[in-house]
Amino acid sequence: MHEFGITASFDDIYNALRISTEVAIDQFASELPHFKDLYKKREVQDLKHPVLFAGAGEVLAAIVKSGNRNFMISHRDDHVIDILEAAGISRYFTEVVTANNGFARKPSPDSINYLINKYQLKQAVMIGDREIDILAGKQANIDTIYFHSADQLDVNATHNINRLSDILNL
């Protein structure tokens, strides 16, 4: 970011990105023409080699092995499926809902309700690393798990964890 003259701390930028790319750009690069286009091009390159949170693959596999299913809801377009494939975890997802599905963005519960209705789910839990994920889960009347690093504040979720492997103990 320093190459663009952006001097904000990593944490400040990261926290804004956790809300959305648009919020971060508005906050830190609104006066830089073409910044969003450059950012998106770099992001596509970086995401060809995704780095998973520790334990992500193991947790996804354990959930499937136990007879349950994983779903993903992303604000990204269908390119997120390529990211999951590059990370070697796409096989663990029954369905991935993306921006291409046309649902309102989280915190709207529309995409969650779609999955619940389509798959006739009797139980579901929303796991997310952003407050809007938890809000969407609550609006869909399902349990929620907020995954966060130790230095982030807890949100009002059913469960708060800081290691993905903790999901398997709930």
CA distance 88 to 54: 14
Say if residue 45's pLDDT is above 70: yes
Q: What is the dihedral of CA 131, 138, 90, 19, to 10 degrees?
A: -20
Mark whether 113 and 143 lie in a shared domain: yes
- Other CB atoms within a 10 A radius of the CB of residue 94 amount to 13
CA distance 156 to 137: 11
What residues make up the domain containing 41?
A: 2-46
- Determine the pLDDT at residue 114: 99
The Cα-based distances of 30 to 21, 33, 75, 145 in angstroms read: 12, 8, 21, 33
Mark whether 103 and 69 lie in a shared domain: yes
Q: Show the tokens assigned to 52.
A: 């998973």
| Residue 34 resides in a domain | yes
CA distance 86 to 51: 10
Mark whether 34 and 101 lie in a shared domain: no
Mark whether 128 and 66 lie in a shared domain: yes
Q: Strand 93-97 relative to strand 70-73: parallel, antiparallel, unpaired?
A: parallel
Mark whether 30 and 7 lie in a shared domain: yes
Say if residue 152's pLDDT is above 80: no
- Determine the pLDDT at residue 2: 67
Say if residue 153's pLDDT is above 70: no
Mark whether 14 and 83 lie in a shared domain: no
The pTM is what? 0.82
Q: Show the tokens assigned to 128.
A: 């997310």
CA distance 139 to 165: 26
Confidence at 22, pLDDT banded by 50, 70, 90: confident
Mark whether 31 and 108 lie in a shared domain: no
- Determine the pLDDT at residue 60: 98
Q: How many domains does the chain have?
A: 2
| Residue 51 resides in a domain | no
CA distance 158 to 88: 29
* Mean pLDDT of the 125-153 span: 90
CA distance 146 to 129: 6
SS3 category, 155: coil
Which of 62-76, 107-121, 145-159 comes out lowest in average pLDDT? 145-159
Percent of the chain with pLDDT strictly greater than 90: 60
Q: Strand 143-147 relative to strand 159-161: parallel, antiparallel, unpaired?
A: parallel
Say if residue 23's pLDDT is above 80: yes
* Mean pLDDT of the 155-168 span: 94
Percent of the chain with pLDDT strictly greater than 70: 95
Q: What is the pLDDT of residues 100-132, one digit of tens each?
A: 999 999 999 999 999 999 999 999 999 999 889
Highest mean pLDDT among 29-38, 75-84, 105-114, 146-155: 105-114
